[in-house]
């Protein structure tokens, strides 16, 4: 054994630097303040990764203690038990038992509970203590307990449970020092196996009763035991939270609740579009401007072309979505931390249940109108794996903002403006609305189809604890934003970067006299000619085909590509020249077919990349891509034939 | 001894028969309890694996439950031991409850 006294278990490469540093796991039920404590202890010294093979996030951090020792902390997902029914519970159990590759058995546990609901939270304490690991029990939100007239004798509780107990208020940093003292004792190897637990107050249930009613019996016995411990520790239940009662009487009101829910949804929607717009414009301006600035200062070589037209423009096309993503996650973070998210899921549940999904799917679907990538990430809040898969499968049907420029260009070029309902609602707006509806209908139909076939199942019973309302802390929301933007930029940036470089290369070869060939002779055109027979029935020629291929990187790329092919300078969705050229290149039916194609097809490498990451393999993204492509082709074929 | 075992078995059979004959002997379901009335949970009519999440949240036979809100579609929010738990109407009608008797409680 190494000097630290820890068995030299298999330590993975990336965690080799942890060798010799004690590992402490943070365990607790959801909404007990686990992550707040984790953030207090680690600050920015944390990493997020996925557990191998599953999509549960592994939050890791290094806590530097006042005596200059360090421990590694793992923030486990919030669970109510260890039945391993959900992925979260499974991962928690595996970590505690040391069954995760590259992660040794934790040296100690910090078990954090909401002391205002001590009795029901003790239901988790029992199985955790049964693991017989060195444990510190943190009674969080003890300030709230006192405010609402509750109390508990933590010394007696410690004696009853046989573990150390501290009161804390993690949000205000109260009790952090005690936790740190415990951690430094763990780091020094001074925390030894806990002494034998005191005599159980209840005899173990007889085998006969266990066989008759296994599950209920185990829980009823545990509950009885914990009630006695609560009484011994003189736990007095606090009065219900007045703030929560008052807010719920409005926010969960039969009529007002759904109305406010829709208003909040509309506000998020509006914020994503309106508030993000100036930032997006600014980013576009900076990227384009700096590209030009660089172009003027470099000689005309293939390298300049690669750097500016490939890399710079490609990276720019990703970063431009960052404001939308930050605003979205700012809202999601505040809704989550305030406790409203659980209520929103409850209100939306009935509606989503009809469609075959569940309440927690509502916000991811709404986010899908901005961008499918953060929406798919947001679907992590859905515990049931089938429901989560169904949700992220249909998210790309929501009309994301990358489709808008394409819709705007084609509508402007092909749909004559005529008033339908007075001056405010004309044929063009109707077409746009129709395209949004088309996407939503496809999502609903697909959800139905999935839940009836591949993801059939009784569906997890919708059961949700509604946490008390709390004011979100700046720190926690900021950390979340930091996390999300890092994941987005890193994972997605890499793919976009690769695709744009490949596309750029295809327009550059074969070289003719050391120069890039005319687009008609480039490798990209060759690909266009290859796929032409497949898209001819839709009313598209090879040029549109090349546009479709290039739009795989990101949907709006098709505009720039068509601009390149037709030799239009500064092509964007507002360009009159572009519109006129398209009118010559497409029939009316072909234009409608192209719109339908964009409504359905998964023309987005970022989404495919994030799907792969979130489903842990290529199976789902491949299925999703093919399904959406078939739907797009058939839809476009019908549109071309009808119009 | 044998008689006692037999009696226990008969009681179980009778209970099972009563459960099967639900329409004739309707139990009081949580879904029927008006808001703000505190009742005692008696039984959960769900298979074991679906019951477990309820048990983990402290919704178990013998506990006191009080519906505090009900949505437009009848989905209740329950107060159990100081926690708020939201569930679907369908599940609420699988929870058999008993009215508290003011004299004995």
pTM value?
0.77
Which of A582-610 are b and which e, b meaning 16 or more Cβ less than 10 Å from the residue's Cβ? beebbeebbbbbbbbbbbbbbbbbbbbbb
For chain B, give every domain's residue range: 27-99
Q: Does the domain formed by A13-232 have CATH 3.40.50.300?
A: yes
How far apart CA A404 and CA A424 sit, in angstroms, is 19
What's the ipTM?
0.76
CA distance B90 to B92: 5
| Run of H or E including B64 | strand B64-70
Minimum-distance CB partner of A465 among B57, B73, B88: B57
- In chain A, the percentage of residues whose pLDDT exceeds 90 is 21
User: Are A240 and B44 inside 8 Å of each other by CB?
Assistant: no
Length of chain B: 105
In the predicted model, is pLDDT for residue A2 greater than 70? Answer: no
Q: Architecture of B27-99 per CATH?
A: Roll (2.30)
- Which tens digits make up the pLDDT trace of A264-316? 878 877 777 678 788 888 988 888 888 889 888 888 777 887 787 777 776 77
- A278 burial (CB, 10 Å; 0-12 / 13-18 / 19+) is exposed
Residues in A touching B5 (Cβ below 8 Å): none
Instruction: Tell which residue, A493, A468, A491, has the closest CA to residue A611.
Output: A491
Q: State mean pLDDT over A330-357.
A: 86
Q: Which of A4-18, A103-117, A207-221, B16-30 shows the lowest per-residue confidence on average (mean pLDDT)?
A: A4-18
CA angle B75/B78/B82 to nearest 5° reads: 155
At residue A198 the predicted structure's pLDDT band, cuts being 50, 70 and 90, is very low
Average pLDDT of A55-64? 79
Q: How far is CA A172 from CA A141, A473, B34, in A?
A: 10, 10, 40
Rg of chain B's alpha carbons, rounded to an integer? 16
Optimal mutation site among A216, A225, A248, interface B, most CBs of chain B within 10 A: A216
A474 shares contact with chain B (CB less than 8 Å): no
Residue B76 pLDDT class (50, 70, 90 cuts): very high
Residue B39 contacts A where some CB pair is shorter than 8 Å: no
Cα nearest neighbour of B88 on chain A: A462
pLDDT of residue A524: 80
The CA–CA distances, whole Å, from B91 to B31, B50, B76, B99 equal 8, 10, 10, 19
Q: How far apart are CA A367 and CA A600, in angstroms?
A: 17
CB neighbourhood size of A302 (10 A): 14
Query: Facing residues of A542 across strands?
Result: none
Look at residue A46 in the predicted model and tell me its pLDDT.
Answer: 72
How many other C-beta atoms can be found within 10 angstroms of the C-beta atom of residue A214? 12
Centre a 10 Å sphere on the Cβ of residue A570 and count the other Cβ atoms it contains.
9
Measured between alpha carbons, how far is A402 from A560 in angstroms, rounded to an integer? 13
In a mutational test of the A interface, the residue from B88, B89, B93, B95 whose CB has the highest number of chain A CBs within 10 Å is: B88
pLDDT tens by residue, A148-193: 999 999 899 998 888 899 999 988 889 999 999 999 988 887 665 4
Whether A120 and B88 lie within 8 Å, measured CB to CB = no
Domain positions in chain A are: 13-232
- Outline where DSSP puts E strands in A40-134: 46-50, 57-64, 70-75, 108-114
How does pLDDT run across B25-59, given as a tens digit for each residue? 467 899 889 999 999 999 888 887 778 888 888 88
Res A214: pLDDT: 59
Supply A1's token pair.
């054994």
Where are any strands of DSSP class E within A427-566? Answer: 463-466
Q: Is A217 on the interface with B (CB under 8 A)?
A: no
Please check whether residue B87 is in contact with residue A462, taking contact to mean a CB–CB distance below 8 angstroms. yes
Residue A533 in tokens: 């027979």
């Amino acid at each position: 054994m190494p000097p630290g006294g820890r068995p030299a278990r298999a330590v993975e490469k990336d965690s080799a630097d942890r060798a010799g540093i004690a590992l402490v796991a943070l365990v607790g039920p959801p909404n007990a303040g686990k992550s707040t404590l984790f953030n207090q202890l680690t600050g920015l010294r944390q990493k997020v990764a996925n557990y191998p093979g599953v999509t549960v996030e592994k939050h890791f951090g290094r806590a530097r203690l006042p005596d200059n020792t360090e421990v590694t902390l793992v923030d486990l997902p919030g669970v109510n038990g260890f039945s391993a029914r959900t992925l979260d519970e499974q991962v928690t159990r595996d970590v505690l038992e040391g069954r995760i590759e590259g992660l040794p058995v934790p040296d100690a546990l910090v078990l954090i509970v909401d002391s205002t609901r001590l009795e029901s939270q003790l239901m988790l304490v029992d199985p955790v203590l049964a693991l017989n690991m060195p444990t510190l029990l943190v009674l969080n939100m003890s300030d709230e307990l006192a405010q609402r007239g509750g109390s508990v004798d933590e010394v007696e509780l410690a004696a009853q449970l046989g573990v150390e107990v501290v009161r804390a208020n993690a949000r205000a940093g109260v009790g952090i020092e005690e936790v740190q003292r415990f951690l430094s004792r763990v780091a020094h190897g001074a925390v030894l196996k806990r002494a034998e637990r005191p005599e159980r107050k209840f005899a173990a249930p007889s085998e006969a009763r266990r066989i008759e009613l296994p599950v209920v019996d185990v829980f009823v016995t545990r509950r009885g035991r914990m009630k006695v411990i609560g009484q011994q520790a003189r736990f007095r239940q606090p009065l219900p939270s007045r703030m929560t009662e008052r807010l719920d009487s409005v926010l969960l009101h039969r009529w007002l609740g759904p109305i406010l829910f829709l208003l909040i949804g509309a506000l998020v929607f509006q914020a994503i579009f309106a508030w993000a717009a100036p930032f997006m414009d600014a980013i576009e301006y900076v990227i384009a401007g700096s590209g030009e600035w660089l172009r003027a200062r470099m000689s005309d070589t293939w390298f300049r072309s690669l750097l500016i037209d490939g890399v710079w423009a490609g990276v720019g096309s990703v970063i431009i979505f960052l404001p939308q993503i930050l605003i979205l996650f700012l809202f999601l973070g505040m809704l989550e931390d305030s406790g409203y998210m659980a209520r929103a899921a409850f209100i939306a549940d009935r509606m989503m249940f009809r469609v075959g999904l569940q309440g927690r799917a509502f916000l991811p679907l709404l986010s899908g109108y901005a961008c499918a990538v953060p929406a798919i990430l947001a679907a992590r809040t859905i515990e049931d794996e089938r429901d989560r898969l169904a949700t992220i499968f249909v998210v790309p049907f929501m009309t994301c903002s990358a489709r808008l420029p394409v819709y705007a260009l084609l509508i402007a070029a092909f749909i004559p403006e005529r008033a339908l309902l007075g001056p405010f609602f004309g044929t063009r707006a109707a077409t746009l609305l129709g395209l949004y509806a088309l996407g939503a209908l496809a999502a609903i139909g697909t959800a139905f189809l999935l839940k009836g076939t591949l993801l059939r199942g009784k569906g997890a019973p919708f059961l949700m604890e509604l946490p008390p309302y709390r004011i979100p802390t700046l720190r926690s929301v900021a950390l979340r934003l930091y996390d999300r933007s890092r994941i987005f930029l890193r994972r997605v940036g890499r793919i976009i970067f690769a695709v744009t470089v490949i596309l750029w290369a295809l327009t550059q070869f074969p070289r003719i006299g050391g120069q890039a060939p005319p687009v008609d002779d480039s490798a990209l055109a060759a690909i266009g000619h290859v796929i032409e027979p497949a898209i001819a029935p839709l009313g598209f020629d090879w040029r549109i085909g090349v546009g479709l291929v290039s739009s795989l990187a990101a949907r709006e790329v098709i505009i720039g590509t068509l601009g390149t092919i037709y030799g239009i300078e500064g092509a964007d969705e507002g360009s009159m020249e572009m519109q006129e050229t398209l009118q010559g290149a497409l029939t009316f039916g072909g234009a409608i077919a192209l719109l339908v194609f964009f409504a359905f097809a998964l023309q987005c490498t970022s989404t495919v990349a994030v799907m792969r990451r979130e489903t842990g393999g290529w199976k789902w993204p491949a299925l999703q891509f093919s399904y959406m492509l078939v739907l797009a082709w058939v839809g476009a074929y019908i549109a071309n034939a009808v119009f | 001894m044998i008689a006692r075992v037999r009696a226990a078995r008969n009681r179980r059979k009778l209970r099972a028969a009563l459960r099967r004959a639900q329409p004739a002997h309707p139990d009081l379901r949580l879904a029927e309890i008006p808001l703000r009335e505190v009742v005692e949970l008696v039984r959960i009519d769900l298979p074991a694996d679906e019951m477990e999440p309820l048990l983990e949240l402290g919704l178990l036979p013998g506990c006191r439950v009080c519906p505090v809100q009900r949505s437009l579609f009848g989905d209740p929010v329950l107060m159990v031991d100081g926690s708020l738990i939201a569930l679907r109407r369908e599940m609420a009608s699988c929870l058999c409850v008993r009215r508290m008797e003011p004299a004995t409680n």
